[in-house]
């Protein structure tokens, strides 16, 4: 089976930027969450639907590498894929480029599946199946 990345496009807003006209470093985690949400939506379930069925996916670790500044009004392509979707783990990798193809950012977030009460639980089989096209070896 061929594995493919999911790509979410986003324009940099004025609110994203510092006085120096580059995205504030902490905003990248919000950008990654938006891209993850769109990947889940494309796989057939929103975060709210998953939460209502008793599943949440907190971040337990993040690795972020800033390569170049993104600036107000840039169009960003957020490429996302999974490196693990097994047992209780979901690991995501990201690559962000701008409209010129310049590499802006690379990173990973590691998640676990828990109940609303924050008890570890196995990933729903239907979610693992829906995300399978986006899993590639690390």
Question: What's the mean per-residue pLDDT of the chain?
Answer: 95
Output the pTM of the full model.
0.93
Segment (H or E) for 128: helix 125-131
Condensed to tens digits (0 to 9), the pLDDT of residues 89-132 reads 999 999 999 999 999 999 999 999 999 999 999 999 999 999 99
Question: Domain count of the chain?
Answer: 1
Is position 23 within any domain?
A: yes
Condensed to tens digits (0 to 9), the pLDDT of residues 34-70 reads 999 999 999 999 999 999 999 999 999 999 999 999 9
Domain extent at residue 64: 6-134
Tell me, what's the pLDDT at 3? 75
**DSSP string of 62-85?**
EEEEE-S---TT-EEEEEEEEEEE
Q: Tell me, what CATH number does 24's domain have?
A: 3.10.129.10
**91: Cβ contacts below 8 Å, ≥ 6 apart:** 82, 83, 84, 85, 108, 109, 110, 111, 138
Is position 89 within any domain?
A: yes
């Amino acid at each position: 089976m061929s594995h493919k990345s999911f790509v979410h496009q986003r324009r940099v807003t004025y609110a994203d930027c510092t006085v120096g006209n580059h995205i504030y470093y902490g905003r990248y985690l919000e950008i990654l969450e938006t891209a993850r949400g769109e990947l889940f939506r494309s796989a057939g379930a929103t975060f709210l639907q998953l939460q209502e069925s008793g599943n949440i996916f907190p971040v337990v670790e993040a690795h972020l590498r800033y390569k170049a500044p993104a600036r107000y009004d840039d169009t960003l392509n957020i490429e996302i894929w999974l490196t693990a979707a097994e047992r209780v783990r979901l690991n995501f990798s990201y690559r962000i480029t701008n409209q010129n193809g310049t590499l802006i950012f690379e990173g990973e977030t590691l998640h676990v599946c828990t109940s609303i009460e924050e008890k570890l639980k196995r990933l729903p089989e239907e979610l693992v199946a829906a995300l399978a096209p986006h899993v590639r070896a690390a």
